[in-house]
Chain A
Amino acid sequence: MISPDTAAIVIDALLFTFLVITALAIVQLRHLFAVVMLAGVFSLLSAGLFVSLDAVDVAFTEAAVGAGISTVLMLGTMALTAREEKKSPHPIFLPLLVCLVTGAALIYGTLDMPPFGSPDAPVQTHVAPDYIARTPVETGVPNIVTAVLASYRGYDTLGETTVIFTAVIAVLMLLGWDTKNRSLARNARRREEDREKGDEA
């Protein structure tokens, strides 16, 4: 018999294993197309992990953003820039050291964390029960995440919307969106190809 707990642990462990493998593969690979695709895979895997951790909204969003939009933008950027990473001549000693020190600090910090999944952790006993108890009474919205997102902490979400707005302003300021640009370029390329064909003939 496999208890639900054990099953959850096995699923977690599998997902984590794949995540780590994907991450290491991304470190190693220099073909950017593969890197971007693996990054998408990483997002999907993490979405799976989020589902197993009860965060369905987050999983949904991560899948849509990390595996969807993010990948599309990365591929688009690749098309505009390069598709192969060049070998870096620099030694990796310092970055490695930085990461090891940071990682060690984080591990040190985890030691006093309440155990994973424990129901009496401060996180579960302060504030959160209030949300769960008050949401049905005060908002009538069954999805507590939505209630907290749009009402209790609606101001954060306004900030989030503003962040997205900031991003588009920034991108438009940097790139503009003059579609004539592209048409012109395509026409130019076509003309060039025609000329080459003409030369061959």
Chain B
Amino acid sequence: MSHHTILRVVAKFLIPPIILYALYVQWHGDYGPGGGFQAGVIFAVAFILYALVFGLDALVRVFPTAVIRILFSLGVLIYAGTGFVAMFFGKNFLDYSYLGHDPVHAQEWGILLVEFGVGLTVATVMIAIFIAFASRIPSISDEEW
């Protein structure tokens, strides 16, 4: 697909807003619809678009698989860790009240943190699954569609 210049240009213009939108959805989840999961999917879409236009190899150069693997594991660990640390404060698992001085703020912080974990995991997982699918040898060639 290297000859589709228009696609490349459009993609270059499209990807930054998509990522921006993803970040908005991620941090705005408390106030409106959205949250870590939706944001993660949108974020992943940006990278998938990148791979579709510039090729899988380009994506993997930007975003090596080893890094992806660490990130999606890290996302789960952030979530579980947020809950786990509470135990050291004598709280139950996932009790966020240790995160702030008053319980309401602690809850807000806790929710932000775990949503970040979710977003991180979802985004990297989607990219990883896409790479896994895309790196197989296709049986239908481009012309046959």
Contact = CB atoms under 8 A, between A and B. Distances in A.
Contact of A171 (B44, B56, B57, B129): B129
A73 B140 CA distance: 15
A164 B122 contact: yes
A33 B145 contact: yes
Contact of B111 (A80, A147, A164): A147
Given A140-B105, A161-B121, A167-B129, A57 B34 contact: yes
A141 B110 CA distance: 11
Contacts of B72: 165, 168
Contacts of B132: 171-172, 174-177
B30 A142 contact: yes
Contacts of B73: 165
Interface in A147-166: 147, 149-151, 154-155, 157-158, 160-162, 164-165
A64 B80 contact: no
Interface string B83-115: 100000000011010000001110110110011
Given A78-B140, A171-B129, A141 B41 contact: no
Contact of A68 (B32, B41, B140): B41
Nearest to A136: B104
Interface stretch (A92-100, A121-129, A179-187): A179-187
A77 B108 contact: no
A68 B18 CA distance: 14
Contacts of A147: 107, 111
A199 B60 CA distance: 36
Contact of B136 (A78, A150, A182): A182
Query: B interface, by DSSP: helix, strand, loop or mixed?
Result: helix
Interface residues of A, number: 57
A146 interface: yes
A185 B111 CA distance: 45
B115 to A, nearest CB: 6
Contact of B104 (A59, A76, A139, A189): A139
Contacts of B65: 177, 179
Interface string A61-82: 1001100110011001111111
26 contacts: A56-B32, A60-B34, A64-B42, A65-B41, A69-B45, A73-B130, A80-B133, A80-B136, A142-B31, A146-B29, A149-B35, A151-B96, A154-B83, A154-B110, A154-B114, A157-B79, A158-B79, A160-B37, A161-B76, A164-B121, A168-B125, A175-B133, A175-B136, A177-B131, A178-B135, A182-B134
Interface of B: 29-35, 37-38, 41-42, 44-45, 48, 56-57, 60, 65, 69, 72-73, 75-76, 79-80, 83, 93-94, 96, 103-105, 107-108, 110-111, 114-115, 117-118, 121-122, 125-126, 128-141, 144-145
Closest 9 CB pairs of A and B: A139-B107, A185-B137, A56-B33, A150-B111, A168-B125, A175-B132, A76-B133, A140-B104, A64-B41
